Structure 1
Amino acid sequence: MQPDESRQFPIGRWSGQTDFTADEIRVRIQQLRDLPGQYRQLTESLSDDELARTYRPGSWTVRQLVHHVADTHQWHYFRIKHALTLPEIAPGMFSDVNNWAKQPDGHDLPVAASLAILEGLHERLAYLYEHLPEADLQRAYYHPFRQLNVSLAQAIDMVVWHAQHHLAHIRLALN
């Protein structure tokens, strides 16, 4: 990582790991369950001024980051469900995340709504992954932002990395 990327990628870039052991999947499932609580603990009692902080010049606010994670994790959930139910690699949904963050709900809505989404969504994802046959972890969908086919094993890793990545941004903004 280049020095100027340390605030943009405070935990490093997503690894793109392709093979996962059963233990690594179990760890990711537990991380899925734990992350919403970390978001809630860090953000639910913040003032409007604290929610308006950014982690680097021109970046999203803390409030926008929480809403962004809820938005994009819903996309991941739907991509995963499509990969499990469609016979071929499912097309990926993608939208302009910057414009989503500028909409009234991404810009002004209290974070409680997105914290509730993350709690329910991560619980559903964790349950789904706990009950998937191992062979289903090799099913894939096309990830339009990364422009690659992502296995469901990679997808859980990506969701966990994404949540940790933006949690690190929030910590940077608040310190």
Structure 2
Amino acid sequence: MDIEQLKYPIGKVVLPTKITKKDIEEWVSVLERFPQELEFLTKELSENQLDTPYRKDGWTIRQVIHHCYDSHHNSYTRFKWALTEDKPIIKAYYEERWAELEDSNTAPIFLSIDALKALHSKWVYLLRTLSIQDLDKQFRHPSNNEVISLKENIGIYAWHSKHHFAHIEELMLRKGWKE
């Protein structure tokens, strides 16, 4: 398997030019199911398996799970900023540095899985209350000044959930830990 396939097992994020209500409903459904699906996928893994990188020079399964919580928590906050401010410039963070912190390297995964369950429950609740006008609200990313709408960000994070789930699942299949 080549490095690009290992990095992007489901491909890079591609959003439709015109995002429909159906797209948003499907993406919100992905976000709703993700924490439980991640828990089910990883519940039988040993500590050694959790500390296995999904690819050479990649994060371990443990780091990927903790990264999902860190990233999704940041995204939820970005939604709140966009809903309460006019095109706010968000705070970026160095995800690779966060992944090297002690909690990402050693903490039990249930901490982030339980946090994802709570976060996604609240996030999905919020998303299902938003109007079309709310979904069109935007924020700016400081690194490239890119403007991202909330409806685009829902798609990005549905992809992000599936992307990291696939990292773990593909490793488990390659190692024979899952049939």
Same fold (TM over 0.5): yes
In structure 2, the gaps of 5 or more residues are 174-179
The secondary structure found in structure 1 opposite 2:134 is helix
**Alignment: residue pair count:** 172
2:124 equivalent in structure 1: 126
2:159 aligned residue (152, 161, 167): 161
1:42 equivalent in structure 2: 41
Q: Does the C-alpha gap of structure 1 residues 36 and 58 become closer, same or farther in structure 2, counting only changes over 3 Å?
A: same
- Offset of 1:161 from its aligned partner? 0.5
Report the residue type matching 2:50 in the other structure.
L
1:104 equivalent in structure 2: 102
The secondary structure found in structure 1 opposite 2:156 is helix
In structure 1, the gaps of 5 or more residues are none
The Cα offsets for residues 23-76 of structure 1, whole Å up to 9 and x where unpaired, read as 111111111111111110011331101101112101000000000000000010
1:81 equivalent in structure 2: 80
Q: 1:142–1:148: 8 Å Cα contact kept in structure 2?
A: yes
The Cα offsets for residues 73-101 of structure 1, whole Å up to 9 and x where unpaired, read as 00100001000001x21112211111111
The secondary structure found in structure 1 opposite 2:6 is coil
Is 1:174 aligned with 2:145? no
- Offset of 1:123 from its aligned partner? 1.1
- Mapped to 1, the partners of 2:144 and 2:62 lie a distance apart of 25
- Mapped to 1, the partners of 2:122 and 2:145 lie a distance apart of 26
Is 1:114 aligned with 2:112? yes
- Offset of 1:173 from its aligned partner? 2.1
Percent identity (aligned): 32
